[in-house]
Amino acid sequence: MTWLSITIAGILTYFTRMTMIALVRRDLLGEKIKAVLAYVPSAVFPAIIFPAIFINDYGAYIEMNDPKIFGALVAIIVGYFSRNVIATIFSGLLSYWIIIFIFLS
């Protein structure tokens, strides 16, 4: 039963990936829609970023002084100026660790 569910979930996921690339002709999308699609990264990724920072493992909002907010801010500043992915991720993690291991321990 679980195997069947996984297979169906996999087929569904594959269709989400394939439909727009292989089945829908690009001409069907008008110029206006194409202009809006330029915003896709900005319109999708914050839906992954925000809950991962502001909502904890138990589904509750975090406090304003949570170390994750500080880590995210450091990552934004470092990322903005360095334009470097590794520096962004690492500075965020490092500042988060400094707070939880040094200040909160």
Partner 1 sequence: MLSKKQLFSRGMLDIAPHMLSVIPFGIICGAIGVDLGFNPYLVYAMSIIIFGGASQIVFLQLLSGGASSLVAVTSVGVINSRHLLYGAVLSEYLEKLSFIKKLLISYVVVDQGFAESNKFFKKNKTEQYLHYHLIGTGITMWVCWQIATLAGIILGSFVPEELGLKFAIPLTFIAIVVQDLKKLDHVIVMLVCGISSLLFFEAPFKSYILISPVIALFVAALLLRLKK
Q: Contact positions toward partner 1, by CB under 8 A?
A: 1-10, 12-14, 16-22, 24, 26, 29, 32, 34-55, 59, 61, 68, 71-72, 75-76, 79-80, 83-86, 88-90, 92-93, 96-97, 100
Q: Which residues pair with 20 in a beta bridge?
A: none
- Give least dist CB 95 to partner 1, A: 10
Name the burial class of residue 38, with classes exposed (0-12), middle (13-18) and buried (19+) by CB atoms within 10 angstroms of its CB. exposed
**Cβ proximity to partner 1, 4 vs 64, nearer residue:** 4
